[in-house]
Structure 1
Amino acid sequence: MKKYNFDEVIPRSGTNCIKYDAKEWMFKTDDVLPLWVADTDFRTPDFIVEAIKKRAEHEIYGYTFKPDSYYNAIIGWMERRHNWSIKKEWISFSPGVVAGLTIAIETFSKPGDSVIVQPPVYFPFFDSVKGTKRKLIENPLKIENGRFTFDFDDLKSKIDKNTKLLLLCNPQNPGGMVWTRSELEELSAICLKHGITVISDEIHSDLIFEGHTHIPFSTLSEEAAKNSVVCMAPSKTFNVAGLASSLVIIPEKAKHARYERALNVGHLGMGNIFGSVALEAAYNHGDEWLEQLMDYLWENYLLLEKFMKQHLPKVKVMKPEATFLIWLDFSAYGMNDEELMKFTVEKAKVGLNNGGRFGTGGDGWLRLNIGCPRSVLEEGLERLKTAFCQI
């Protein structure tokens, strides 16, 4: 068994990567340690790199289609990792999960319809709704026993005849919740009762910590399958977001046909050669690598948790059940969002995500990415300690 080295520090500056080369644009200074953008600093697995190199050796990169082996890789991965038996005819494509969400919004609703979003949540959700001229309805999450959960009473109070869609973040970003079966079943029942289609962003579904199980929304019941669109990708798992290849799974035949029609109007269905090659390699050969990654990420989280308890006890850490993103409550320091970001950038010299961008419930919080070599995380934590211990 090959042992992968997640401690390796790989310089990324000068590669046009957003995390490092867009620091000055984001933070108005280049002098920050970036722990923000939701990709990792780990080397893309060798089996993916080798597959891309092999395809690149054939020096014609013309029009291509997705072979049966592509679909079989997806089907096998879903069966092994998520106990989900899917069919080829359910699978469609998107350049990215946000693109898939947006296409689905445009396909299954019309301008002026209401779309429910559950903040604090991945902030492009808001742009996808507003940018398509739909009405954004917020159903904020509650914190109970240190984790997010749904507020079903609030949800039911927000639904009217114009409510057509609900955008679900499953697992949840930024909190890292893996929704339980009972939580999802109650959510599904409400949406089914009111004819609301669930569009489920499941991009973090592979990144599940021990003791938790990801439940694809469409597996809840036959009715849920007919009432849902599931968006997934290998991008977060295997650090291939730049290859712009995601998948959309729609079990209901008529919905699938409508989505495909919208996708093909924009000639978006082909994707790119190397994205397809990477996806196939990832899903055929990625199991052992992923197991090692999750072990490493959990050790990173335990390091962060211990560090905060010892050195920054005023910071409340939401314990993740999935993802490499940690949701940190700095509200005890009494700063508003602008002040908190300014202090973190100028005094700690660490680049994190501003909690306010995630919507209602995000004020006073910051999102930190632990998908990095341990030495980088340690440096970031030390910088935060030095700065906040002066307050």
Structure 2
Amino acid sequence: MNNKEPYFEDIPDRRDTNSLKWGKYSGKDVIPLWVADMDFKSPPGVLEQASRDARFGNFGYAKCPSGLVDAVIERSFDLYGWKIEPSWLVWLPGMVCALNVSCRAFEHESSQVFTQTPVYPPFLSAPGNFNLPCTRIPMVLEEGRFGIDFEALESLPTSPSDLFMLCHPHNPVGSAFTKDELDKFAQWACRRELFVCSDEIHCDLLLDPGLSHMPLAQVNPEIADRAITLMAPSKTFNLPGFGCSFAIISNGNLRRRFKKAMAGIVPDPPAMGFSLAESAYRTGEPWRMELLDYLRENRNFTLDELSRIKGITPYSPQATYLLWIDARNLPVENAQSFFEDAGVGLSDGKDFGAPGFLRLNLGCSKQLLGQALERMVSACVDF
């Protein structure tokens, strides 16, 4: 690809299209920067594959194509140096479903589920769906970056077979965990005989130069034996509406337990979900590289603009297209409602376990982002 600006500025008008993101504020002058999907068109190769599938004209049930399995295996090795086997893959229609299946798989063995906060809301709700207590461990903020609180982990009472739900890279704070952090976490989890569900859906959206993703299960064989790794092309290539995700589980007994928890409840991904996922992985890399450049520019622009507002602290994400904002010092009762009234729809931090914070979606055109940021700055001009 080239000419990235026209491609990423040529945004489909999603108003009145049953879009979850845009429909929330239908009929209102509110710019939606909340739910984590991007406004950009998917990669050209994906659009071409969708056209071929539509012209074919039959939308019956489908099995996962062998080409997609090969693409996942090749991509895992090429990008992460992780050698996986076809039998380790379990296909799913979405990541929220996968988080719930992971909890269901341990509902009779775990005494509790651990997760770090703030975190993507289904991490907080999934354990309760299976009567499992959710123990929240606040992340630590050091030099503008949120990290794992290892002192808190060491003090936690745990039982063998408890489940830890890890978000890596982390949504909403945008931290990409380092090899040292993952090593230390893996040692702790193995020593406590815990199992870990590692949601790595944002792993191909690393913004800081020099970063590379290390899957938790790649750290050492011991943690691999206790890990359920969740991945998908949906966030990276903007395909969330096609519901094609997968778990990577090397331990055969754990994989069978996971599949048993799915039985009779969880459907396969749709036929076009499979075909578009393969197309994204096979043809989407040039688009992804240009997307990352565009998101970096949006991130840096947003940080500059938000620095004009007294009372808020934005944090620069190392990964994801989501930017976390501490708005607790704004002289308003509810920051999310305040900015919504000013014409900008953001995610409320209380849903992530962090009242007073906000999450802003960078996955939109610079023009729209600029309009939203100007509204936010203007709303706070008297503070």
TM-score range normalised by the length of the shorter chain:
over 0.9
Which residue, out of 321, 327, 348, partners 2:318?
321
8 A contact 2:119–2:170 mirrored in 1: yes
CA distance in 2, matches of 1:163, 1:257: 16
**Runs (5+) with no aligned partner, structure 1:** none
Deviation, structure 1 residue 162: 6.7
Question: Counterparts of 1:98-117 in structure 2 under 5 Å?
Answer: 98-110=96-108, 113-117=111-115
Residue 330 in structure 1 maps to residue 359 in structure 2: no
8 A contact 1:114–1:135 mirrored in 2: yes
8 A contact 2:160–2:193 mirrored in 1: no
1:119 maps to 117
1:288 maps to 286
Question: Counterparts of 1:147-186 in structure 2 under 5 Å?
Answer: 147-161=145-159, 164-186=162-184
Deviation, structure 1 residue 86: 1.2
CA distance in 1, matches of 2:102, 2:348: 28
CA distance in 1, matches of 2:144, 2:108: 37
Residue type at the aligned position of 1:220: V
1:374 maps to 366
Residue 365 in structure 1 maps to residue 365 in structure 2: no
8 A contact 2:168–2:198 mirrored in 1: yes
Q: Partner of 1:51: helix, strand, or coil?
A: helix
Deviation, structure 1 residue 267: 5.1
Deviation, structure 1 residue 371: 0.6
The structure-2 alpha-carbon separation of the partners of 1:245 and 1:42, relative to structure 1 and needing over 3 Å to count, comes to same
8 A contact 2:163–2:194 mirrored in 1: yes
Which residue, out of 12, 15, 29, partners 1:13?
15
Residue 387 in structure 1 maps to residue 382 in structure 2: no
Residue type at the aligned position of 1:363: P
Question: Counterparts of 1:1-391 in structure 2 under 5 Å?
Answer: 1-4=1-4, 5-23=7-25, 30-110=28-108, 113-161=111-159, 164-209=162-207, 210-266=209-265, 268=267, 270-309=268-307, 311-336=308-333, 339-346=334-341, 348-359=342-353, 362-391=354-383
Q: Give CA-to-partner distance per residue, 1:30-84, whole Å, 9 cap, x none.
A: 3311011100000111211111221222222222211211100111221222222
Query: How many residues are matched?
Result: 380
In percent, how many aligned pairs have the same letter? 32
Q: Give CA-to-partner distance per residue, 1:338-386, whole Å, 9 cap, x none.
A: x22221111x210001111111xx2221110111000010000000011
CA distance in 2, matches of 1:244, 1:301: 27
Q: Partner of 1:69: helix, strand, or coil?
A: helix
Residue type at the aligned position of 2:241: G
Q: Which moved more, 1:58-67 or 1:372-381?
A: 58-67
Q: Partner of 1:328: helix, strand, or coil?
A: strand
Residue type at the aligned position of 1:343: F
**Runs (5+) with no aligned partner, structure 2:** none
Q: Partner of 1:366: helix, strand, or coil?
A: strand
How does the TM-score come out when normalised to structure 2?
0.95
Residue type at the aligned position of 2:329: A
Q: Partner of 1:368: helix, strand, or coil?
A: strand
Q: Which moved more, 1:169-178 or 1:299-308?
A: 299-308
CA distance in 1, matches of 2:246, 2:58: 25
Q: Partner of 2:138: helix, strand, or coil?
A: coil
Deviation, structure 1 residue 313: 4.6
CA distance in 2, matches of 1:214, 1:267: 29
CA distance in 2, matches of 1:252, 1:353: 37
Deviation, structure 1 residue 115: 0.2
Q: Give CA-to-partner distance per residue, 1:115-168, whole Å, 9 cap, x none.
A: 001100111111111112111111111111111111122122223327610000
Q: Which moved more, 1:251-260 or 1:178-187?
A: 251-260
8 A contact 1:76–1:283 mirrored in 2: no
